[in-house]
A and B are shown apart, each in its own frame.
Chain A
Amino acid sequence: MRNSGVSHSAAGGHMRDDERVVREILIPALREDAWRAVTEPDGVAAWLGGDAVLEPRPRGTVRCRRADGTRLEGVVVSVTAPIRLVLLWAEARRGAAAEQRDPSGPRLAPELVEASRVEIVLLEDPEGTRLTVTESRVGAEGGWFLPATGPTSALAGAGS
């Protein structure tokens, strides 16, 4: 697996555009099969986690847990099967805490939380499919904040 995109300056300013993580993987499978694995429930459960949700359509819901149990919630921004999937998500940490305090109350606190943009691109390769993931941090400078009330339609037009 290849890492790249570690391109920020220790001495420089807070360059949001450069805050990104890139991972590339070569999968020994046809692109259509890899796409199905990325987007269909069986595959989603395998790579995003057993209770994860990914609705592969614009404005579809994305929900999963990190290894440490924190929740990520977001929205699908654009889908170009079988090539490209773009989504926005953010940690629902505050929401989880609010939920514990009052399960019947609002699921997430009203604060705004920082979001990430995730782009997954699948390219055909002689040895299978080359899948590249780019996760970029988006914040006030980028104009994208994810309301902590969860995915909203207001986001769905952003970052396609």
Chain B
Amino acid sequence: MGPDDRPERGGPDGRVDRVFTALSDPTRRAVVRLLADGPATATELSERLPVSRQAVAKHLSALDEAGLVASSREGREVRYRLTPGPMAEVASWMAEVGAEWDRRLQALRRHLSR
């Protein structure tokens, strides 16, 4: 990342940086993708991901701290949803696409270095 990117990514509260840090983890990006389809509990999410409910809960906590998800209690379960606005979905798309291009371009470089 070049220093010229910082004014765009920082901001007074560093929220954008927190968002991208939270989304640097592929499981968290998967959680955001699932929540884009609608609110869900940690149990429901864990059924659709190759990780335990406890692991999903930890990831949800990190997403919550970054302001990407909000929760509400329903009986014994806590239901999570993406926070209003485009931030979570857009940032997740950017993190996902960026990671893909990092991988592809490293592979291209390796191919040309043979």
Question: Are these two chains actual partners, yes or no?
Answer: yes
Q: Please list the residues of chain A having a beta carbon within 8 angstroms of any beta carbon in chain B.
A: 1-4, 6-8, 10, 13-14, 19, 21, 23, 25, 27-29, 33-34, 37-38, 42-43, 46-48, 66-68, 116, 131, 133, 135, 137
Rounded to whole Å, the gap between the CB of B107 and the closest CB of chain A is: 5
Instruction: Kindly list 13 other residue pairs between chains A and B, CB separation below 8 angstroms, not including A1-B102, A10-B87, A46-B111.
Output: A3-B2, A4-B1, A4-B4, A4-B5, A6-B5, A21-B97, A27-B112, A34-B108, A43-B111, A43-B112, A67-B100, A67-B103, A135-B97
Scan residues 74-99 of chain B and give those whose CB is less than 8 A from a CB of chain A. 85-87, 90, 93-94, 97-99
What is the CA–CA distance of A33 and B112 in the complex, to the nearest angstrom? 8
B112 touches A34 (CB 8 A): yes
Chain B positions within 8 Å of A6 at CB level: 5, 8-9, 16, 20, 94
Q: Please list the residues of chain B having a beta carbon within 8 angstroms of any beta carbon in chain A.
A: 1-2, 4-5, 8-9, 11, 15-16, 19-20, 26, 30, 85-87, 90, 93-94, 97-105, 107-113
What is the CA–CA distance of A155 and B1 in the complex, to the nearest angstrom? 33
Rounded to whole Å, the gap between the CB of B85 and the closest CB of chain A is: 8
Q: With A47-B111, A68-B26, A133-B105 in contact, do A23 and B11 touch (Cβ < 8 Å)?
A: no
Chain A positions within 8 Å of B26 at CB level: 68
Chain A positions within 8 Å of B16 at CB level: 6, 10
Chain B positions within 8 Å of A135 at CB level: 97, 101
What is the CA–CA distance of A43 and B30 in the complex, to the nearest angstrom? 29
Rounded to whole Å, the gap between the CB of B52 and the closest CB of chain A is: 19
How would you classify the secondary structure of chain A's contact residues: helix, strand, loop or mixed? mixed
A46 touches B108 (CB 8 A): yes
B105 touches A131 (CB 8 A): yes
Q: With A1-B102, A133-B101, A135-B101 in contact, do A14 and B107 touch (Cβ < 8 Å)?
A: no
From B85, B86, B90, B104, give the contact of A47 (CB < 8 A): B104
Chain B positions within 8 Å of A48 at CB level: 104
Chain B positions within 8 Å of A7 at CB level: 8
From B15, B30, B101, B111, give the contact of A23 (CB < 8 A): B101
Chain B positions within 8 Å of A47 at CB level: 104-105, 107-108, 111
B105 touches A19 (CB 8 A): no
Closest chain B residue to A29, Cβ basis: B112
Rounded to whole Å, the gap between the CB of A57 and the closest CB of chain B is: 20
